[in-house]
Amino acid sequence: MGPSMKIKTILLSCFLLGCSLWSFAQQQPMGTSDKMAWWSASRFGLFIHWGLYSQTAGDWNGRPTRGGEHFMLYERIPLQQYAQIAKDFNPTAFDADTWAKAAKWAGMKYIVITAKHHDGFAMFNSPSSDYNVVQQTPWQRDPMRDLADACKRYDLKLCFYYSLGRDWADPDVPTNWPSKAGRSNFWDYPNEDAKDLSKYIERKVKPQLHELLTQYGPIGIIWFDTPELFTKEQSTEIQQFITDLQPNCIINSRIGNQLGDYEVVEQSLMNKAKGKWEACITMSRNWGFNKHDTVWKSPEILVRNLVEVVSRGGNLLLNIGPKGDGTFPVESMARLRSIGDWMSLNAEAIYGSGEWKIQSEGNQLHEEETEIAGQQTIKDAENDATSKDIVSDIRFTTKDGFVYVFVRSPKTDFAAVKSLAAGQAQIAKITLLGSKQKIKWKQDAKALHLPVPSATGGEIPVYVFKVKLVGQS
């Protein structure tokens, strides 16, 4: 064998080895620990619902709509008429840097944004479908490109929401919830039995997923919604399609058919399923911007929500609905700032933490929330089941050998922690996050007694004590 032939043989061997390694990488199972590590450590993300429905701000034909951002369905609006909203969509005040900076300040680690909601309108540059923000609006810009750059600057993971089994702009998307055609566009496309989901998948879903996974760099999550009538084979095929393009991209459970890397519960703070999970909730009543929405959760409630979910081993995905002009509502920005102030002192007890042997002490969540969480159903429009009550109670997380005790909304000068009573735990040291003061605690057979700080005017009254137990390294 001559020198040139030897070189060719070596190059061929290297090529085949590379192909083998690439093939092996593609065949790795979903949900591996390395793939999920950043997500599990993050604990807190920003959900953004932004689309044509943001432009109408809750009105249609001079009156308030039904169904929030789902109003195309509730009002039975023909596609050609609904599409005219795009002619007024010109969000010149949009600034991706402002969005990313606000999420970063609040302590969020990832952003999930609606690339395509149920109305079928793509909020990104989609060469495969001209029904998109670049081609149909006077703005003619791709906000996802700007957001991808901003997320990179602020070290945030960019993730895309994609409505999977609902698309009111496509003629081949049947549904069966709560009954046959219950969430279909049957006024434009009345023959439900003639709809062929596989045509929609090949014509729109796969091309748009390819665009989302190749145009904006590494994507943290493809966050699916409403799998509806997807079969196990179709969900599996989409899962593999994503993994082939970006092996490290996480996929949520709403790809359907018990697939995906983690469970999602909507507008609830509890999850009965075992394994990794995420709660997605709104700041107000609606997911998309609605000027008639005046019911806003307080910063205290939102921090309590975050603590509740993390103490149960989950992530919290907190939603904002930007206005049609591209700005966050002032109420949303104010809450992000308040949460950020709290996180600047207490994030240590959130990031990378896990469940302790005891999750909580004190009042439990309402029975109706437990029931809704147990159902694991996909709900619709306004569906907030989270408790709005503020009660004095205690939650726990653990990390690196420490137990973090969250004293929430205390009503007395001392908090009694029964799970850390004498006989239950030997305590080496206690500090209060965000404070340099020495903590004067005492422990008896009934409880560990912790002094509660005097609240200041703008302070969220959720205090975190870091407890080192004897024998813990």
Residue at which a domain ends, from 204, 230, 261: 261
**Within a domain: 6:** no
Tens digits of per-residue pLDDT, 67-118? 999 999 999 999 999 999 999 999 999 999 999 999 999 999 999 999 999 9
**Residues present in the chain in total:** 473
Considering the domain boundaries, does residue 415 fall inside one?
A: yes
> Band of the pLDDT at 456, cuts 50, 70, 90?
low
Q: Which residues contact 469 (CB under 8 A, 6 or more apart)?
A: 401, 403, 425, 426, 427, 428
Look at residue 19 and tell me whether its pLDDT is greater than 60.
no
For residue 49, give the H/E element and its range. Answer: none
Name the pTM for this structure.
0.90
Nearest alpha-carbon partner for 27 in 307, 250, 239, 297: 239
- Within 226-262, strands assigned E span 250-251
What local confidence, expressed as pLDDT, does residue 375 receive? Answer: 41
Over 90: is that where the pLDDT of 392 sits? yes
Which SS3 state, helix, strand or coil, does residue 428 take?
Answer: strand
CA proximity to 222, closest of 323, 116, 143: 116
Kindly state whether residues 256 and 389 are assigned to the same domain: no
Nearest to 83 by CA among 122, 141, 115, 49: 122
Query: Is pLDDT above 60 for 411?
Result: yes
SS (H, E, C) 144-156: HHHHHHHHHHCCC
Inside any domain, residue 303? no
**Cis-peptide, bond into residue 178, ω within 30° of zero:** yes
Q: Which residues of 392-411 are buried (b: 16+ CB within 10 A; e: fewer)?
A: ebbbbbbbeebbbbbbbbbe
In a domain, 114, yes or no: yes
Asked whether residue 328 is domain-assigned, the answer is no
Note whether residue 339 is domain-resident: no
Phi, psi of 274 (to 5 degrees): -85, 150
H or E element: which one contains 58? none
427's enclosing H/E stretch is strand 427-432
- For residue 389, which of 304, 309, 280 has the smallest C-alpha distance? 304
Looking at residue 265, its amino acid is V
SS (H, E, C) 263-302: EEEECCCCCCCCCCEEEEEECCCCCCCCCCCCCCCCHHHH
Domain count, the chain: 2
The DSSP bridge pattern shows strands 315-320 and 44-48 to be parallel
The Cα–Cα gap between 430 and 436 comes to 11
The reply to whether 244 and 117 lie within a common domain is: yes
Instruction: Tell me, yes or no, whether 387 lies in a domain.
Output: yes
The parent domain of residue 408 ranges over 358-365+377-469
In this structure, what CATH number is given to the domain that contains residue 71? 3.20.20.80
Pick the last residue of a domain from 246, 261, 276: 261
Q: Domain end: 233, 261, 289, which one?
A: 261
Mean pLDDT score, 3-19: 39
Residue 8 reports pLDDT greater than 90: no
Does residue 271 belong to any structural domain of this protein?
Answer: no
Task: Note the pLDDT tens digit of each residue in 338-374.
Answer: 999 999 999 999 999 999 999 999 854 443 344 333 3
Q: CB of 414 within 8 A of CB of 398? A: no
Residue 122 to residue 463: CA distance in whole angstroms: 43
The mean pLDDT of 321-341, rounded to a whole number, is 98
Angle at alpha carbon of residue 425, lines to 422 and 427, rounded to 5°? 95
Share of the chain above pLDDT 90, in %: 84
